[in-house]
Amino acid sequence: MPGFELFGEQEKKEVQDVLDSGVLMRYGFDGVRNGHWKARELEVLLAKRMQTKYAQVVSSGTAALTVALASAGVGAGDEVIMPTFTFVASFESILAIGAVPILVDIDDTLTLDPLAVKNAITDRTKVVMPVHMCGSMANLRVLRAICDEHSLLLLEDACQAIGGSFEGKPLGSYGDLGCFSFDYVKTITCGEGGAVITNNKEYYTNADNYSDHGHDHIGSDRGAESHPFLGYNFRISELNAAVGCAQVQKLDSFLEIQKNHYQIIRTGLEKVNGVTFRSVPEGGVENYSFLSFFLPSEELTRKVHAALGENGVDGCFYWFDNNWHYYRKWEHLSNLTSLGNLPKEVKDRLPDYAKTNFSSSDHWMGRTISVLIKLNWTKEEARQRADKIAKTIADCFN
């Protein structure tokens, strides 16, 4: 991770196809595009790889989440349960459709705590959105049972975990809907892009229409298409999709490289007393894009993280203080700071996150460091890195 580390001739060819045709838009201009439909091709490749009936590619992971929610009829005042540890896009997508993000604690999986989910359900809850952060997954079996019991949608935000699996199913395909991001620093990248996957034909059709101004895409004359409902522009460009066509075909080779490098780092850290690792639910297989580990205290974790930086070990993240990925720095959400007036349903129903007790999340995140696993390391570079991280941690214990 990320996929741009291994750009090559395949990406160049796919992009050149688009440039040669001159058609950068995914719809229309049939006669001059020389048979190139890169967005459609990417959708076929994704659906096959993710073992789902349908895939809809869009302009970003944030767009994918927004489109997925809208396609399932989620709207103003509906509550969506999500974790305290995620990227800000998770709650942005919920707010974008007037729904209400309900933050709940994580557990040692660094994802949704199922008990916290159960305790957060109200008569307004419509969706449970686990976010498979840093390459590993929530306990989907338990969350699926909770959703079934309460007639809720299970929407997997798999933006950081493409290629992982749970009980033999690709992440994103276990729930009612799944979403991916293909931004510049993801395991596979389009530069900018995202996708929604589902086995539900109605959700797919809605996503297809909604992401293109409500066009129904029936027939071969774009100007004659009807608009069954309101939509917006979340289209991906053919250039971005072209890069994705090359990258998705490399996904399994990327995963193998990541797994090998991950195991080298993990083997090195397993020798250090006091280091423990995030829990992976039984039946789960990570995509190995990050190695996340715990230290005994917040104070020691801060010390280790600072020492890693001083020793030149880049790509080590202490999420507890991160502006984008942990609730403690989401003042714009807590204060509802917005350029325009927010929907009444949001203002009336959003909890006061400046006062909410998320000490259970703090317990885990305050002691977590995540190591980015790169694709372009050699095995020797990975071993040297493992040794350096292990020595830095050991020195901090002394």
pLDDT tens figures, 363-391: 999 999 999 999 999 999 999 999 999 99
- 253-290 tens-digit pLDDT: 999 999 999 999 999 999 999 999 999 999 999 999 99
Residue 101 shares a structural domain with residue 241: yes
**Which residues form the catalytic set?**
186
Burial of 397 by CB count in 10 Å (0-12 exposed, 13-18 middle, 19+ buried)? middle
Residue 223 shares a structural domain with residue 286: no
Tell which of 250, 278, 307 closes a domain: 250
- 172-209 tens-digit pLDDT: 999 999 999 999 999 999 999 999 999 999 999 999 99
Residue 275 shares a structural domain with residue 196: no
Residue 8 shares a structural domain with residue 40: yes
- 72-84 tens-digit pLDDT: 999 999 999 999 9
Q: What Cα–Cα distance (Å) separates residue 338 from each residue in 12, 90, 92, 172?
A: 40, 16, 11, 31
Q: What pLDDT score does 191 carry?
A: 97
Residue 7 shares a structural domain with residue 119: yes
Residue 264 shares a structural domain with residue 243: no
328: domain CATH number is 3.90.1150.10
Query: Quick one: pLDDT band at residue 2, thresholds 50, 70, 90?
Result: confident
Determine the structural domain holding residue 382 and report its residue range: 252-397
Is the predicted pLDDT of residue 48 greater than 90, yes or no?
A: yes
Torsion of CA 318, 323, 326, 332, to 10 degrees: 170
What whole-number percentage of the chain has pLDDT above 70? Answer: 100
Report the relative pairing of strands 153-157 and 125-128 from DSSP bridges: parallel
84: domain CATH number is 3.40.640.10
Is the predicted pLDDT of residue 398 greater than 90, yes or no?
A: no
Residue 239 shares a structural domain with residue 265: no
Tell which of 250, 274, 296 closes a domain: 250
Q: Report the pLDDT averaged over residues 210-222.
A: 95
Residue 333 shares a structural domain with residue 204: no
Provide the domain count of the chain. 2
Sheet holding 368-372: strands in order across? 276-277, 290-294, 368-372, 316-317
Residue 294 shares a structural domain with residue 266: yes
Residue 259 shares a structural domain with residue 225: no
Whether this prediction's pTM lies above 0.95 is answered by yes
HEC letters along 119-163: HHCCCCEEEECCECHHHCCCCHHHHHHHHHHHCCEEEEECCCCCC
Residue 218 shares a structural domain with residue 312: no
Tell which of 250, 276, 302 closes a domain: 250
Q: Tell me the residue ranges of DSSP E strands in the chain.
A: 54-58, 79-83, 100-104, 125-128, 153-157, 165-166, 169-170, 177-181, 194-198, 276-277, 284-285, 290-294, 316-317, 368-372
Residue 347 shares a structural domain with residue 389: yes
Residue 271: how many other CB atoms lie within 10 Å: 11
Instruction: Provide the angle, in degrees to the nearest 10, between the axes of the packed helices 238-248 and 9-21.
Output: 150
